[in-house]
Amino acid sequence: MSDHEQQPALSRSKVLDALARAERKGFTRPAPKSAKAQMKFLLTRAKGSTQAVAERLGVSRRTVERYRAGKLTTPQKRLQTALVEETGSDWQPQVRAQVRAAAATPRGTMVEVTAYFGFTCTGSSDDGRERQITTDISPTYVKQILELQEAGATEEDLHPIVAEAITESYFTEWGTRADGLQDFTSVSSISFRY
């Protein structure tokens, strides 16, 4: 068994995390850092509903009230992660929308990825191996990726489209060469630039 077959196809949320990082680069102000400020922001977004925030974070209403009042200040790791993720997902929605709209234009998006790419052909420079690739992605693919992300797609849903986008722009050079991508696995790192 080769090295790429021993590793999982994708670590948890690599593509989703990369998309979120790319969006956050457009923010004009930093997101709240303290648990109290994060809780206050989430409560504002939930129109003051402690029950809605509690359900979103997976804690009790009383816990939300204690953080809002400043009685609790240091959340456990699970709650801290949830606060950062939920605050980040709601932070500056208009800026996020502008960044996403710019990403799907002909100016487009660039992806940088380190992963195993394998092909049906053998004996060529396109043999399967781990590669570090930086390439532009077609606005058509960017739009599909962002629409899927917005609809709540999983990592497994996004993976084939990202692979197809990289294949089209890098390996086939927009349909002029190198058909037959079979494997896009063992993603070590991935980042998007809008």
Task: For residue 2, give the amino acid letter.
Answer: S
* CB atoms inside a 10 Å sphere around CB 63: 19
pLDDT of residue 20: 87
Can you give the residue ranges of every domain in the chain?
3-24+100-193, 35-91
pLDDT of residue 177: 62
Cα distances from 122 to residues 23, 118, 182, in angstroms, run 39, 10, 12
pLDDT of residue 142: 92
pLDDT of residue 121: 57
Residues 6+ apart with CB under 8 A from 17: none
Successive 10-residue mean pLDDT values, the chain, 194 residues: 39 80 88 93 95 95 93 93 91 90 84 81 64 90 92 89 86 62 75 88
Positive or negative: CA dihedral 119, 123, 125, 127: positive
